[in-house]
Amino acid sequence: MMEQLDKSAIQMDGFFEKISGHEQVMFCNDPATGLKAIIAIHDTTLGPALGGTRMHPYESVEDALEDVLRLSEGMTYKCAAADLDFGGGKAVIIGDPSTDKSPALFRAFGQFVDSLNSRFYTGTDMGTTMDDFVHAMKETNYINGIPEAYGGGGDTSIPTSEGVIYALKATNKHLFGSEKLSERAYAIQGLGKVGFKVCEHLLESGASVYVTDINEKALEEIQAIGRQLKNPVKVEGTDEIYRVDADVFVPCAMGGVLNEETIAELKVKAVVGSANNQLAKEDLIEMLATRDILYAPDYIVNAGGLISVADELYGFNQERVLLKTKAIYSSILEIYEQAKRENMTTLEAADLKCKRTLAEQKNRNNFFSRTKRPKWNFDG
């Protein structure tokens, strides 16, 4: 019996060590609806935690926990980088989004979110849709990223793609002395909502564009647009896109696409895209630097969508969102210049900027005031 207790204590110690960098981790279980979820709040120095809810058939609870801890920490840095008064959080629902969803499941999830009493605001992510959260909204007000018909900002791919364009312009300015898009060639991986809009913008600017996607319909549509603009699109295979002789590689699909093999194949001078976690391992940034390939940190490039969902809490304003998204241009330039000046990688420069923001705000937010400050003046 004592041996079993000792073993349990060791396992418990290991669990608390794993979550030691987080403020709160909440396990949600509702047998009646089949809900099994984890909510992780990483850091609320800047304000209430903000982050989407992902639904995925994880092989184990440990895998789900690993994912939610990593993603919620990333949200802290995303919010700091985008100058948002929110902290980092994330949620994962364990289940197959094609078979395990139900209105009741999302209502149950909404109740758990509500129990956190405004510490966590959430919405869509991989495997969930805006319609799913219409059900969750019946149980909690702490939902964002909702359809326009319900008072939300709707399609976040618009500001996200705008942010990618600003990042591309900043990269061109830094590398070539001119931000003009038309003077360069781009290899775009992925024609989803964001990638398609980025590609369309580049074609309209007169840029040379290479694309790849497994979706034949998307390829046909973008080729038709290219023909209409008299700027033909060059379609490449999913493996060949890495070997294209372009100026910038633009990953807009799945994460983890930059590994030892693919980085070795790149012929570009920079990587700037909307995909999350593009590096299979963070230390691969050194391999890019050795090959003299400039890397734009993805969590700054793709911040437009986050800016949009955060703005909803103040009463969505598209013009205000796009104005805030413009700041991505100056943020990317600042990171490039700091990395060069201090002889560090662009990832190190971006992380350092975020850590400084968190340190600066820590004392400011601990300053007691009885009144609600404007930055948190929204209703939950």
326 counts as catalytic: no
Q: How far apart are CA 130 and CA 127, in angstroms?
A: 11
C-alpha of 121 from chain center = 15
Diameter of the chain measured on Cα atoms: 77
Strands 35-43 and 87-94: antiparallel
Nearest residue to 188 via CA among 125, 255, 221, 234: 234
Question: Please, are residues 121 and 83 in contact by the beta-carbon 8 Å criterion?
Answer: no
**One-letter amino acid of 371:** T
| C-alpha distance across the termini of the chain, in Å | 48
Q: Which of 78, 90, 197, 324 is catalytic?
A: 90
Question: Please, are residues 182 and 206 in contact by the beta-carbon 8 Å criterion?
Answer: yes
| Distance (Å) of CA 61 to CA 169, 202, 277, 323 | 42, 42, 21, 41
Three-state secondary structure call for residue 231: coil
Nearest residue to 105 via CA among 64, 138, 148, 72: 138
Question: Which one-letter DSSP state was computed for residue 213?
Answer: -
Three-state secondary structure call for residue 310: helix
Q: How far apart are CA 258 and CA 292, in angstroms?
A: 15
**One-letter amino acid of 194:** V
Question: Please, are residues 244 and 236 in contact by the beta-carbon 8 Å criterion?
Answer: yes
Q: How far apart are CA 238 and CA 22, in angstroms?
A: 38
Q: Name the residues annotated as catalytic.
A: 90
